[in-house]
Structure 1
Amino acid sequence: MSTPEDAFKKKLLAAQQEKDELVRKNQIDAERKKQIIAEKISFYQKHQNDFIQQVIEWASSADLNISSLNISYYDYGHLFQTTGISIEYDGKKVQFIPQGVERGTFLGIIKLDFTNANSFIQYYFGLSANKNEAEPYWTFVQYDTQNPSAWQENSKRMSKELFFEIIESILLPPKS
């Protein structure tokens, strides 16, 4: 027959084991979350570098002035440093600025910044992927902050033709 002290000690031991198990489970979950975030960031950085190199290649083929930008951004509470680019022609410029993973719908974002941009519209490239395609791809998005539901209608998959269409509309606006 057990004494009240023994029964109490067993309950204390069980409670301590339960706490230890919960702490261990939380540590495993935290490590897994860190690993997932690290994988997302690594995936983005690889494709972001490829994207920037592709843009440099396209801009070079048109003899546009290209310069590197040192970019810093926060992602999941960590400061990252990378390279963006600026393309200039006749005093006008457009910048491709990496923004990281943490933001929303896409697997990563590269912001498009230029003078005379509509202040209600955010222009960026979002890294997308789907199961039907072997490689991820970049989508150009014009996100209208006054009509947020229309962003999908204003998005197009990045291509050489789209790149030059965007650059032309920014650097060579229509003549009045």
Structure 2
Amino acid sequence: MRYIIKKGTPVFEKLWAIQHQIQAAHAEARKLAIELKADPTYLLLSTGYAAGMVEGLHFAKRPGDWKLCHKEGTVQLYYPKDMFRNFYQRVRLRQLPSVERMAIDQLIGYQHQQDNPVRWQPFVGFSWNDDFILVRIPDKAIYTPINGVKSIGQAAYDALYVINNTTIPVHRWGKNDRILIKNE
């Protein structure tokens, strides 16, 4: 199911405010990555978060007291091992500002649900633009759009998605439902 939220609606304004929180949180995470001598290009976020809760940073080579936590192609991401000397690094990563994806989903009236006894429907996908926000909801989900969320066809969604080449990846349909953010 594909939807569009146009600028000027109350739901757009609420989502746009959260988008600014996400960008600010990503900026803080990149700043901390640079401080820890990591490459700020890639950040691995914890399940259920659009920002904050960083679970992995990219280094040219593995730091001594860090463990491999995720590998995607040639990108290897590391997290500080649970050792006393890494305590402050771990605390600083956990204290980054965060935004939960469920809070974003609830703004458009989406409730998480199961499509079978052991599998939850994934989170909603968003593509952000100054004039509209594209929304992608899993096809098997039960969803009734709230006021300001308009249904569009797949062709219209694809055309707008291609135009919107400045997409900010808030959702990645990937392994373990975690987000790998690549900052250009």
Return the TM-score normalized by structure 2: 0.27
Which has the greater radius of gyration?
Answer: 1
More helix per residue: 1
